[in-house]
Structure 1
Amino acid sequence: MPLSESELEELRRRRHAARAGGGEERHSRRRGKGVFSARERLDGLFQPGSFQETGMHARHHSPELGDRELPADGVVTGTGYVDGRLVAGFAQDFTVAAGTLGKVHANKIVELMRFAMHTGVPMVAFQDSGGARIQEGVDALSGYGDVFYNNVLMSGVSPQIAVIAGPCAGGAAYSPALMDFVIMNRKDAHMFITGPAVIKSVTGRQTSMDEVGSAAMHASVSGNVHFIAEDEHHALRLVKELLSYLPANNTEDPPHRLSPDLALGRDEGMNDLVPNEQFTPLDMHAVIERLVDNGRLLEVQADFARNLIIGFARIEGLVVGIVANQPMHLAGALDIDAADKGARFIRFCNAFNIPIVTLVDVPGFLPGVEQERGGIIRHGAKLLFAYASGTVPKVTLILRKAYGGSYLAMCSREMGADAVFSWPDAEIAVMGAEGAVDLLNRKDIEAADDPGAERARLVQQYRDEVASAYLSAERGYVTDIIEPAESRAVLALTLRKNLTKRELRPAKKHGNIPL
């Protein structure tokens, strides 16, 4: 029996009401500030015509809210294609009850997450919410619990990307914190557990939103945010670029673009990057630009712990995760924040079958009372744990120096590297030559006719007889000594040959990483 006109009209009315969200007036005010609607965000993410909405007609049944209409219950959920690949996505609608989360709102998100897990596709979440729906009481808290639980179930199964596009306060902040990557809009977005008003009422301290909840603070101080988006369009570009490096799930390889013919020529410009003086820092960004395809590194957490660089790139089409010391900041020493930053990135790469390239130019762990009291031992152990537990291909290149425990923490052969290469003048030792000589030969230097010349002689002797990369190669700790100009070709060839690596570990639920 065909549908009547009234039945069709009712369907159209309900669809229109759901799509209208909080109404044109509210959307217009936001557009005037350059803020997208929930549906505009999803339309910008997915290929035209590919989005299928789920739960459009979902509706709360809360006596406290009465018959109040909440179109789509304040969250738009569904699936579509991004560059030809299926992705699940949801966007909270701030124009509907401030995007607050109630039980039905949460159920829609959870159903989408379960679909993403069962089909093995990434999920993108646009967070723009006033938090828990107070009128629903414990039901709202239960909804958050359901979301958090499924965030954890999904972790390591399919990639999860959060975009903080508006407020994300209180318990709401824990869902993006449980995801793999957080992108935050520089304007119109904030994220915190307790805001300035609560902090003042409890502690008496006057503070500002910029200080506790801004994108700049989270990107550079707390480390909660991985990328800052300058506007809505930039946020969408970042999501798409990030997805372009990631597999759909943990059973697939990342989207390599392999050519049957490798370009294995020399890059003489790499030789020119090496400073003439031993203590002149080497800019690791300049090295990475010459190693990766088109000089393009999608750097993650660029403003946090800048003494360590992490990010995604391709080398001869093969997707890799880059972990590199940056001597231009803190001389490249490892500290608490760098260890945390590196360990989590390494674990993500391992979960999603992304080979890891480690570029080493490290003088040691950062000394200091604050570092020791802050738990540098525990935090540094995270880096060791992450590398040792990784079973993806791991290739290490030592550029100039690798001293002490930091040599091990930057993926030495003993920590599971499949191959370790070194530039000819690199030093690998318990400590730097100058420090070792001062510690071991201080009295001899002081007694010499020319202490300066004697110290210089002993330093060179230590470099030649103790710290030379050739000694490490002789003992099998270094796979080969290579010219800087050969670096890209050697890495490309080694990565390609290790692409089919398979490694089994002892059966266990999971290791106990030092948190």
Structure 2
Amino acid sequence: MHDVPMGADMRVQVKALDKLRQEARGDHDEIGTRRQHEKGKLTVRERIDLLFDPGSFVEIDTFRRHRSTSLGLADKKPLTDGVVTGWGDIHGRRVFVYAHDFRIFGGSLGEEHAKKIQKVLDLALRARCPVISLNDGAGARIQEGVAALAGYGGIFTRIVKASGVVPQISVMLGPCAGGAAYAPALTDFVFMVDGSSQMFVTGPDVIKAVTGELISQDQLGGARVHCETSGVAHGFYDDERTCLEEVRYLVSMLPQNSSSAPTPYVLEDPVDRESPELLDLVPTSPTASYDMRDVIECLVDDGELFEVHAHWARNIVCCLARMGGRVVGIVANQPQVLAGALDIDASDKGARFVQMCDSFRIPLLTLVDVPGFLPGVHQEHHGLIRHGAKLLYAYCNATVPRVSVVVRKAYGGAFIVMDSQSVGADVALAWPTNEVAVMGPDAAANVIFRREIAAADDGVGEHRRRVEQYREEFMHPFYAAERGLVEDVIDPAHTRRIVIDCFRSLAGETDLGVPASAHGNPPT
């Protein structure tokens, strides 16, 4: 089992050690490597090489092996026990990692395998550094029984303890079934590769046996399912290389831990850059559609943003970007989808993102163009109140600097929930197109002037006149400002400069005075 000769010359021992390290890399496993590549997947070492800065990865527990004497395992005790653990640098910043090796027991988790993961999570929490998991495993190692299952419990506990303290990113690069699926679900971000990664609690065979339903692994828990339907994953990519490169980019926008701010970048995009194109991007009609992402791109540095959950709950946009060289989290209604109304999924998506930003001291910019909460029996019966309260709670609980901008309309309770001044926005601004009211003018006129409209010979014309009367009295651009609900009505072209100045005033150039997170980032 051991190839290092006892009592041999040091050079001989070093040579034998190098041979063992080569064995641990798994390069000799040509069949396993070929199978990975045939599936469009990389080996664990190839993934680590892509993730970290060249030459920075340090592996620990390389020589660990399982101790099981179970049938089929006693004579197979490969180095690493199917998981590679250690640390390295991403853009010069220290990050810890654990990565399954599917070539060894299908990446399944045994007792020693679990202990390796638990150790690296303990080290990351002690060092206050981010953790990335590269998931490509078949779940618990059946031959090791309950010892393997208990290993998951230790992993889950550590992930929860690290929640909101250090950023945790899960990258799904293969199967993840059963209890194993809960580990990534507890982390801050989950990314998948289309066609090669799946997540589910019970697989197609079990579902067929219990319910009679026929479904493939990809249809059940593939990347598109979790990014478009369930909301479990934050994004998917066509291949592993692109996915890992985007993960590197995300790490550059996150802090090391909850006690530090994201690293500022050298600013090339002028802080005082004006955006006159915004005057044409947003229609004055409150019912006309436009893409809120176009607005965001005009405001942020170099038009670059990292959107999360881009394919799920698309009526709200959540993204990280830089403004004035510093990272901000942006939450914005999306008029292109459901007119930007808040529903169950949008509330969950927004709440989770606000919590994450608050956990890691990332200031929040909220762009408001919301007609209200989505009406409907389905929404009400499935807990719209409960889910909407999550977004409200997240904003009320947030301690980071917060700036909100009413871009166009903000009606009813949705106005309050979208980080209004009354729930704690530090600075509330509005564009001249703003309409802040209890409800839209059509509905309001029907309530306030229902008798006049009913008594009129021309009911349609009377309704139209009353709508305009309501607009003039209660929805003119300065109505909210006159009552102190917004601090200022600003020229849209000046929004970038004003927002950056607000954040600098609230937090200071070195982000002094912003308290560290006192809560985790639980899944909503």
Q: Structure 1 length normalisation: TM-score? A: 0.95
Matched, 1:322 2:333: no
Matching of residues 223-302 of structure 1 within 5 Å? 223-257=231-265, 259=267, 263-302=271-310
Shift of residue 514, structure 1, vs aligned partner: 12
Match of 1:71 in 2: 79
Shift of residue 452, structure 1, vs aligned partner: 3.1
Shift of residue 13, structure 1, vs aligned partner: 2.9
Shift of residue 262, structure 1, vs aligned partner: 5.6
Contact kept in structure 1, 2:125 and 2:166, CA below 8 Å: yes
Among 446, 454, 467, the alignment partner of 1:459 is 467
Greater Cα offset, 60-69 or 110-119 = 60-69
Match of 2:44 in 1: 38
Among 353, 357, 362, the alignment partner of 1:345 is 353
Match of 2:113 in 1: 105
Give RMSD over aligned pairs: 2.2
Match of 1:502 in 2: 513
Is the partner of 2:176 in helix, strand or coil?
Answer: strand
Match of 1:398 in 2: 406
Match of 1:14 in 2: 20
- In structure 2, C-alpha distance between the alignment counterparts of 1:335 and 1:80, rounded to whole Å: 41
Matching of residues 466-477 of structure 1 within 5 Å? 466-477=474-485
Match of 1:138 in 2: 146
- In structure 1, C-alpha distance between the alignment counterparts of 2:522 and 2:477, rounded to whole Å: 31
- In structure 1, C-alpha distance between the alignment counterparts of 2:217 and 2:18, rounded to whole Å: 42
Shift of residue 357, structure 1, vs aligned partner: 0.4
Is the partner of 1:485 in helix, strand or coil?
Answer: helix
Match of 2:4 in 1: none
Shift of residue 232, structure 1, vs aligned partner: 1.1
Among 9, 29, 32, the alignment partner of 2:35 is 29
Q: CA 1:147–1:435 in structure 2 vs 1: closer, same or farther (change >3 Å)?
A: same
Is the partner of 1:321 in helix, strand or coil?
Answer: strand
Greater Cα offset, 280-289 or 344-353 = 280-289
Matching of residues 80-479 of structure 1 within 5 Å? 80-257=88-265, 259=267, 263-479=271-487
Shift of residue 203, structure 1, vs aligned partner: 1.2
Q: CA 1:200–1:56 in structure 2 vs 1: closer, same or farther (change >3 Å)?
A: same
- In structure 2, C-alpha distance between the alignment counterparts of 1:123 and 1:236, rounded to whole Å: 14
Is the partner of 2:446 in helix, strand or coil?
Answer: helix
Shift of residue 261, structure 1, vs aligned partner: 10
Is the partner of 2:214 in helix, strand or coil?
Answer: coil
- In structure 2, C-alpha distance between the alignment counterparts of 1:421 and 1:401, rounded to whole Å: 13
Amino acid at match of 1:134: I
Q: Structure 2 length normalisation: TM-score? A: 0.94
Contact kept in structure 1, 2:164 and 2:519, CA below 8 Å: no
Among 52, 61, 66, the alignment partner of 1:55 is 61
Contact kept in structure 1, 2:427 and 2:487, CA below 8 Å: yes
Q: CA 1:95–1:2 in structure 2 vs 1: closer, same or farther (change >3 Å)?
A: closer
Bigger RCO (CA 8 Å, 6+ sep): 2
Shift of residue 453, structure 1, vs aligned partner: 3.1
Deviations 1:71-103 (A, max 9, x none): 211001111111111111121000001001011
Shift of residue 219, structure 1, vs aligned partner: 0.2
- In structure 2, C-alpha distance between the alignment counterparts of 1:124 and 1:167, rounded to whole Å: 17
Q: CA 1:4–1:399 in structure 2 vs 1: closer, same or farther (change >3 Å)?
A: closer
Contact kept in structure 2, 1:219 and 1:226, CA below 8 Å: yes
Contact kept in structure 2, 1:308 and 1:332, CA below 8 Å: yes
- In structure 1, C-alpha distance between the alignment counterparts of 2:224 and 2:446, rounded to whole Å: 43
Contact kept in structure 2, 1:307 and 1:329, CA below 8 Å: yes
Q: CA 1:289–1:103 in structure 2 vs 1: closer, same or farther (change >3 Å)?
A: same
Runs of 5+ unmatched residues, structure 1: none
Contact kept in structure 2, 1:385 and 1:513, CA below 8 Å: no
Matched, 1:490 2:498: yes
Deviations 1:467-509 (A, max 9, x none): 334121112110100122121121121122112463679x9x8
Contact kept in structure 2, 1:382 and 1:514, CA below 8 Å: no
Q: CA 1:261–1:231 in structure 2 vs 1: closer, same or farther (change >3 Å)?
A: closer
Deviations 1:386-432 (A, max 9, x none): 00000001000001111111001100001110001011131111101
Shift of residue 3, structure 1, vs aligned partner: 3.6
Amino acid at match of 2:52: F
- In structure 2, C-alpha distance between the alignment counterparts of 1:102 and 1:282, rounded to whole Å: 52
Amino acid at match of 1:93: D
Contact kept in structure 2, 1:339 and 1:380, CA below 8 Å: yes
Contact kept in structure 2, 1:336 and 1:379, CA below 8 Å: yes
Amino acid at match of 2:37: R
Is the partner of 2:95 in helix, strand or coil?
Answer: strand
Q: CA 1:504–1:291 in structure 2 vs 1: closer, same or farther (change >3 Å)?
A: closer
In the alignment of these two chains, the number of paired residues is 513
Is the partner of 1:63 in helix, strand or coil?
Answer: coil
- In structure 2, C-alpha distance between the alignment counterparts of 1:70 and 1:248, rounded to whole Å: 34
- In structure 1, C-alpha distance between the alignment counterparts of 2:318 and 2:520, rounded to whole Å: 24
Deviations 1:299-351 (A, max 9, x none): 10000000000010011212100100001100100000000000000000000
Shift of residue 267, structure 1, vs aligned partner: 1.8
Q: CA 1:309–1:174 in structure 2 vs 1: closer, same or farther (change >3 Å)?
A: same
Greater Cα offset, 465-474 or 253-262 = 253-262
Contact kept in structure 2, 1:126 and 1:163, CA below 8 Å: yes
Deviations 1:75-134 (A, max 9, x none): 011111111111111210000010010111111111111111111111111000010011
Among 470, 488, 496, the alignment partner of 1:480 is 488
Greater Cα offset, 315-324 or 3-12 = 3-12
Amino acid at match of 1:417: A
- In structure 1, C-alpha distance between the alignment counterparts of 2:84 and 2:403, rounded to whole Å: 43
Runs of 5+ unmatched residues, structure 2: 1-6
Q: CA 1:503–1:87 in structure 2 vs 1: closer, same or farther (change >3 Å)?
A: closer
Contact kept in structure 1, 2:361 and 2:514, CA below 8 Å: no
Q: CA 1:504–1:248 in structure 2 vs 1: closer, same or farther (change >3 Å)?
A: closer
Is the partner of 2:154 in helix, strand or coil?
Answer: helix
- In structure 1, C-alpha distance between the alignment counterparts of 2:274 and 2:464, rounded to whole Å: 34
- In structure 2, C-alpha distance between the alignment counterparts of 1:475 and 1:126, rounded to whole Å: 52
Identity %: 47
